[in-house]
Amino acid sequence: MSSMTKRSLVTPLAQDMPQSGIRKFFDYISGREDVISLGIGEPDFTTPRAVREACIRALEQGRTEYTPNAGLLELRESISTYLEDNFRVNYDPVHEMMVTIGSSEALDLALRVLIEEGDEILVPAPCYVSYSPITGLCSGKTVEVETTAANSFKLTAEQLEASITPRSKLLILNYPSNPTGAVMTYEDWLPIAKIVEKYNLFVLSDEIYGELTYGSKHVSFAAMPGMKDRTLLISGFSKAFAMTGWRIGYACGPEEVIAPMLKIHQYTIMCAPILGQIAALESLKPHGIEAKDMMMDSYNSRRQMFVSGLCQAGFPCHEPKGAFYAFPSIAHTGLTSEQFAERLLEETSVLTVPGTAFGKGGEGFIRCSYATSPAKLEVALERMAGFMKQFG
């Protein structure tokens, strides 16, 4: 035995995966009741009552079975109609759609079927924390395309083109954006679509915040001329429908991509939980849509109050036009994002996330989620304004 070389139990890919820069801060505050958290990207609403009741009824009727691997057909049909009505994209519920465990599973499956060793995956940054680690697990390489506050964190064709190499395969888009709240309009997308076509890229469009735009309506990248066949659209019920814990998401795209994703899902997951699927189906009925719109209006008024409060408190902040995050600058304090977030937490018990948790371009910013009660937002703003006084 002793002459055998010792092999490490855990693979280098798993070992080298970085710890999420968000989790660290949450561990820090557990059990501290004085803390106002602007950290977590989760609605403070509970799932609307009618949706919860539909789930209770289903449970009482004994709905505890597996569903088809791709999800209940009725749910896929309902999502298909919803997407067509709201975002002008058209997907066949049988061949081009699947229901997943949150959009997270859809993202994981997509990257597993699309990435080969050494492929480069373009991601506008600052960006959602999961893209790079999962890409790494698939032996791909993330190339972050830095966007800037000066351009409201929108992606430009020039920035994108400058990052393309012969290994570029996939572009991950996430608009409305976590963490910046940036949105892209039809006119913003046109030159991006041209680049996608020119370099024969495939696009993974994470549109989990698609319903949450304030002002102009969300434009799905898949709805851009010629882009449907080049795009996998990922979304879900967590954010706009206040259903994070139900874990229901979906992927829509060319059958060529959906079919292998479904194969992996079949072996590893079987199907998304039936009760979550029944709840999702209920939330797409008119009363669920009404509740979603009501929540969106509420985020919008909090956004207006919070962002103007941040500006008055001395935080330069571009106007976030989607999702439920503000991404103000703290560069003028001379602190790094991490130092700032740590000191703000220690000295005022307000939890924010350092911009560096979201990759390139995040230094000098903090992410604040305003999906929390207006009363708490007011107190947080007071504390943040007090904290800023020391920086003149």
Name the residue number minimizing CB distance to ligand PMP: 102
Residue 354 touching ligand PMP (CB under 6 A): no
Residues 154/182, Cβ–Cβ less than 8 Å = yes
**Residue 329, strand partner residues:** 365
Residue 147 touching ligand PMP (CB under 6 A): no
Interactions with ligand PMP, residue window 50-89 (CB under 6 A): none
Which one of 71-79, 99-107, 158-166, 304-312 is the stretch in contact with ligand PMP (CB under 6 A)? 99-107
Tokens of 71: 């999800």
Q: Which 3 state secondary structure label does DSSP give 143?
A: strand
Residue 188 touching ligand PMP (CB under 6 A): no
In order of 118, 197, 279, 332, 369, the CA distances from 41 in angstroms are 31, 33, 21, 26, 6
Alpha carbon distance 192, 149 (integer Å): 19
- Between 106 and 381, whose beta carbon lies closer to ligand PMP? 106
Binding mask 26-45 vs ligand PMP (x if CB under 6 A, - otherwise)?
---------------x----
Residue with tokens 């709240």: 181
Among 208, 307, 381, 384, binds ligand PMP (CB under 6 A): 208
Supply the minimum distance, in Å, between the C-beta of residue 208 and ligand PMP: 4
Supply the minimum distance, in Å, between the C-beta of residue 146 and ligand PMP: 18
- Between 86 and 104, whose beta carbon lies closer to ligand PMP? 104
- Between 97 and 208, whose beta carbon lies closer to ligand PMP? 208
Count the Cβ atoms, other than its own, within 10 Å of residue 242: 22
- Between 174 and 348, whose beta carbon lies closer to ligand PMP? 174
Alpha carbon distance 125, 362 (integer Å): 8
Among 25, 128, 189, 214, binds ligand PMP (CB under 6 A): 128
Alpha carbon distance 136, 133 (integer Å): 5
- Between 244 and 336, whose beta carbon lies closer to ligand PMP? 244
Supply the minimum distance, in Å, between the C-beta of residue 335 and ligand PMP: 26
Which one of 89-97, 98-106, 250-258, 363-371 is the stretch in contact with ligand PMP (CB under 6 A)? 98-106
Per DSSP, 210 falls in state T
Interactions with ligand PMP, residue window 213-242 (CB under 6 A): 236, 238
- The radius of gyration of the chain from alpha carbons, rounded to an integer in Å, stands at 21
- Between 292 and 348, whose beta carbon lies closer to ligand PMP? 292
Count the Cβ atoms, other than its own, within 10 Å of residue 150: 7
Which one of 101-109, 111-119, 159-167, 271-279 is the stretch in contact with ligand PMP (CB under 6 A)? 101-109
Between strands 325-326 and 366-369, the pairing is antiparallel
Tokens of 304: 């207006």
- Between 80 and 103, whose beta carbon lies closer to ligand PMP? 103
In order of 37, 42, 148, 181, 216, the CA distances from 127 in angstroms are 20, 17, 12, 11, 22
Residue 244 touching ligand PMP (CB under 6 A): yes
Residues in Cβ contact with 367 at an 8 Å cutoff, skipping those fewer than 6 apart: 179, 325, 326, 327, 352, 353, 354, 355, 357, 358
- Between 93 and 249, whose beta carbon lies closer to ligand PMP? 249
In order of 61, 97, 211, 331, the CA distances from 207 in angstroms are 34, 15, 8, 29
Binding mask 159-178 vs ligand PMP (x if CB under 6 A, - otherwise)?
---------------x---x
User: Which residues sit at the interface with ligand PMP, rule CB under 6 A?
Assistant: 41, 102-104, 128, 174, 178, 206, 208, 236, 238, 244, 249
